[in-house]
Structure 1
Amino acid sequence: MAPGTMLFIGEQKQDKARIDLMHYSGTVLHELRDVTVNQCAEFAKSPGITWINVNGIHDIRQIEALGKVFNLHPMTLEDLVNTTQRPKVEEFPHYLFIVLKMMSFSDMPSRLVMEHVSLILGKGSVISFLEDEGDLFDTVRNRIRAATGRIRLLKADYLAYSLMDAVVDHYFLTVERIGDRIEDIDEQILADPRQEDIKEIHQLKRDILHLRKAVWPFREEVGVIAKSDSALLHPETRVFWRDLYDHTIQIIEMAETCRDILGGMHDTYLSSISNRMNEVMKMLTIISTIFIPLTFIVGVYGMNFEYMPELKWHYGYCLIWGVMLAISLGLFIYFKQKRWL
C-alpha cells in the first residue's frame, strides 16, 4: 500500500473503541467518558488543558476522524494503528508524535505483556492512544482529580511528561518482578535443579531482550525531547525531561544486570546438573567397589571342583559370610575416612 495508508496491525483486544476526555485548569475540571470526536474538538478549542484518551486503536474510522479534526499527518495516522512500530519521537509544525511501549510482567505464568502506546502533544492538548482499556494512567488521573502537585498548574507538555513517567514506573515494576523471579529460580536451581527451570531461564532471557528493545529507543526519544527547541516544550519542564532520561538509563542498567545474572544462571544450572550426575556416579562406583571382592569370593566358591577343602568345613559357610562382611565394613570405613561418602 501507499505510504500513509491506515492499516491496523495488532490484536483486537476489545469490541468497541472508546474515547475518554479530561479538560482542566487550575480551578476547573471536566471529566467525560465515551465522548465523540466533535466533543473532543470543542474542548480542545476552549482555554485550559485537554487530555483525550483513546482506548482501542483498531477502529480506523475513529482514528481517521481524530486525524482530520487535529490535522494529523497521514504518516502519523499510519504509525498510530501499527502496534509493531518501534519507540520514536517526530516533530511536526503544530504537534509532537511520541511512540512508546508499556510493559507489565505476569508471575503466573511468567510472561511479559507489551502494549503499544502513542502520544500526540499539541498546544494545550494531549491525545493518548492505547491498545486496550487499562489502569496504565490511573495515577495521573487521580493527581488531576485531586489537584495535587503541579500538574493542574503547568502546560500540556507536563501532562505528556506525566504520562511517559507513568510508563517508566511500569518499567521499574516490571524489572523488579523479573528480578524477584530470577532470585526464586536461582534458589531452586541450587536446591533442586529441574528441566523446567532451564525453559523459564530462556523465557526470561527473551523477556529481557524485549524490554531492552523497548527501553533503548525510549532513552533516545526522551533525549531528543529534552534537547528539542519546539515551542510546545516550555523551559519549566526541561528539568523533568532530564530526570526521565536518568530514570531510563537506570532501567537499562537494571535490565543489563538481570541479563548478566540469567547468563550466569544458565551456567549454574549446567554445573548443578553435572555435579548431581557426578554424585550419582560416585555413589554407584562406591557400591560397585564394595561388591567387587564379594563377587570374587562368591565366584570362586561357585566353581564346580570336587576337591575344595573349604567345602567340607563345618563352619565354612559362616566363615565366608564373616569374611565378606568384614571386607564390606572395612571398605565402608575407608571411604568414610577419605570423605567419599
Structure 2
Amino acid sequence: MPRFISKSLKKVGSSPGTLIHVGEIKTEQSSLSMLHFDAETHIEQPLTDIGEATSLLTPDATTWINVVGIQDIALIEDIGRHYHIHPLTLEDILNTTQRPKVESFDDYLFIVIKMLEHDKEKDSIVSEQLSLVLGKTVLISFQEDEGDVFNPVRERIRKGKGRIRSAGCDYLAYALIDAIVDNYFVILENVGQRLEAVEEAIDSDLDADILEKIHTIRRELIYLRKQVWPIREIITYLQKDGAPLIGEATGPFLRDVYDHTIQVIDTIESLRDMLSGMQDLYLSIISNRMNEVMKVLTIIATIFIPLSFIAGIYGMNFNHMPELTWRWGYPAVWLLIIGIVAMMIVFFRRKKWI
C-alpha cells in the first residue's frame, strides 16, 4: 500500500522550500562522482566536495555529477548554492514520493522519473526516484541508492562510442531517460514470465495461492502504469517547450523514447487484459468444479429420496402390514429399491445430467 498512497506527514505545516527528506533512507552515506568529457577526452573520478567539479566546467565540455543518497540535507543545500538551484527544486529532490514530472526554470530543467528494478529475492518490483537537473553544460542526477541502469551509458562515454561525447548535455539527459525506459521492458518481460507461470498453474493444477499471485501482479501493473504514464508528458514537454536547453538535434531521439514509452504502456495494458482473462478463467474453473460437486451430491440425494420413503413406510411398525409376514417381502423390497435406482439412473442419463 505505501507505493500507492504516499505519506508526507513530516512536511505538513512546513513552509514552501523547507528541506526535509521524505521517504526511506536506502544508503547510509551520501557520495558524489563525476564524469567530465568532451569529444576527445573524459575524466571520471569520485568527489569529496561539490566545489571540485565547479573548476572543470567549460562551455565546450559536459559534466555529469551523480549524487547517491539524498538524505544529507547539508550536501543538497551545498549543491543548490553552487549551481543556483531553486529551493522548491531542492525540496522536490528530497521528497521521494514525487510523481514523474518536468519543470522549467531560468537556467535549468528539473526532471523527476522513477527507476524500476526487479528484486529477485522478493520477486517484486522496487522503485527508486531519480531527479535530474539539466543545465547548459552540467547534468546533476540524484539517486536514492547505489546501483542503477546507467552502466551502458557510462561505457559509451568511457569508450567514446556513438555521439554521446560530442552531442552535449541534453543528449546525455536523453540517454539516461532512454536507459530507464528500456529497463521497463526488462521489468515487463519478467512480469510476462510470471503470468505464463500462473497460466500453466491454472491449466495443470489449481493451487490455493493462484488468486493471490494474480492480485499481486495486478497491483504491480497498476504501479507500473502509474509511473510510466507521466513520461509521455515529460517527453512531449521536452520536445516542445524544453528549448533552448534541448537542442534540435536531440529531438528525433526524444521522439524515439516517446515511441518506446507508448510501447511500454501498450504492453502494460495487454498484460492487464491477460491478467483479467486469467482471473475470469480461474473463477470459471472453480465455479465449474463446484457445480460438478453439487451435481453429484444432488443426484445422490435425489436417488435416496424414494429409498428413504420406502424405508420410512416399513419403519412405522403397524401390526397389519402384509409384507411383514410375507416370506418374500424382504427380497421384494430390495428388488423395488434396486429397480427405482436403476430407473432413475437411466432417466438422468437420458436427460444428460450425468
TM-score by length of 1: 0.88
2:45 counterpart of 1:32: yes
Structure 2 residue corresponding to 1:309, chosen from 322, 329, 333:
322
Q: Which residue in the other structure is 2:226 paired with? A: 213
2:191 counterpart of 1:178: yes
* 1:13–1:108 Cα change, 3 Å: closer
CA–CA distance in structure 1, aligned partners of residues 124 and 108 of structure 2:
35
Q: Which residue in the other structure is 2:9 paired with? A: none
Aligned partner of residue 26 in structure 1, secondary structure: coil
CA–CA distance in structure 2, aligned partners of residues 7 and 253 of structure 1:
37
Aligned partner of residue 256 in structure 1, secondary structure: helix
TM-superposed CA distance for 1:226, in Å, is 1.2
Q: Is the 8 A contact 2:59 2:137 kept in 1?
A: no
Percent identity (aligned):
47
CA–CA distance in structure 2, aligned partners of residues 107 and 328 of structure 1:
59
CA–CA distance in structure 1, aligned partners of residues 47 and 290 of structure 2:
63
CA–CA distance in structure 1, aligned partners of residues 57 and 330 of structure 2:
106
* 1:34–1:284 Cα change, 3 Å: farther
Aligned partner of residue 53 in structure 1, secondary structure: strand
Matches within 5 A, 1:73-92: 73-92=86-105
CA–CA distance in structure 1, aligned partners of residues 121 and 316 of structure 2:
65
TM-superposed CA distance for 1:68, in Å, is 1.5
1:151-207 C-alpha deviation (Å, 9 max, x unpaired): 233212111111001110122222333333334334545655566444443443333
Q: Which residue in the other structure is 1:150 paired with? A: 163
After superposing the two structures, state which structure 1 stretch, 82-91 or 290-299, moved more: 290-299
1:113-135 C-alpha deviation (Å, 9 max, x unpaired): 22111111122222111111113
CA–CA distance in structure 1, aligned partners of residues 35 and 339 of structure 2:
90
CA–CA distance in structure 2, aligned partners of residues 276 and 110 of structure 1:
31
CA–CA distance in structure 1, aligned partners of residues 47 and 333 of structure 2:
94
Structure 1 residue corresponding to 2:312, chosen from 295, 299, 302:
299
Aligned partner of residue 43 in structure 1, secondary structure: coil
Structure 2 residues not aligned, in runs of 5+: 1-13
2:91 counterpart of 1:98: no
TM-superposed CA distance for 1:316, in Å, is 4.2
* 1:315–1:107 Cα change, 3 Å: farther
Amino acid at match of 2:295: K
After superposing the two structures, state which structure 1 stretch, 277-286 or 195-204, moved more: 195-204
Aligned partner of residue 104 in structure 1, secondary structure: strand
1:230-289 C-alpha deviation (Å, 9 max, x unpaired): 232222211000111111122222222333344444444443343333222111111112
TM-superposed CA distance for 1:319, in Å, is 4.2
Aligned partner of residue 260 in structure 1, secondary structure: helix
Q: How many residues are aligned here?
A: 341
Q: Is the 8 A contact 1:190 1:272 kept in 2?
A: no
* 1:314–1:148 Cα change, 3 Å: farther
Q: Which residue in the other structure is 2:238 paired with? A: 225
Question: How well do the aligned residues superpose, as a CA RMSD in angstroms?
Answer: 2.6
2:256 counterpart of 1:239: no
TM-superposed CA distance for 1:22, in Å, is 1.8
Q: Which residue in the other structure is 1:129 paired with? A: 142
1:202-242 C-alpha deviation (Å, 9 max, x unpaired): 44333333222222221101111012352322222110001
2:41 counterpart of 1:20: no
Aligned partner of residue 179 in structure 1, secondary structure: helix
CA–CA distance in structure 2, aligned partners of residues 39 and 97 of structure 1:
23
After superposing the two structures, state which structure 1 stretch, 17-26 or 72-81, moved more: 17-26
Q: Which residue in the other structure is 2:73 paired with? A: 60
After superposing the two structures, state which structure 1 stretch, 252-261 or 240-249, moved more: 252-261
Q: Is the 8 A contact 2:104 2:242 kept in 1?
A: no
Amino acid at match of 1:132: D
Q: Which residue in the other structure is 1:328 paired with? A: 341
Dislocated runs of 4+, deviation >6 Å: none
* 1:76–1:290 Cα change, 3 Å: same
* 1:243–1:205 Cα change, 3 Å: same
After superposing the two structures, state which structure 1 stretch, 91-100 or 255-264, moved more: 255-264
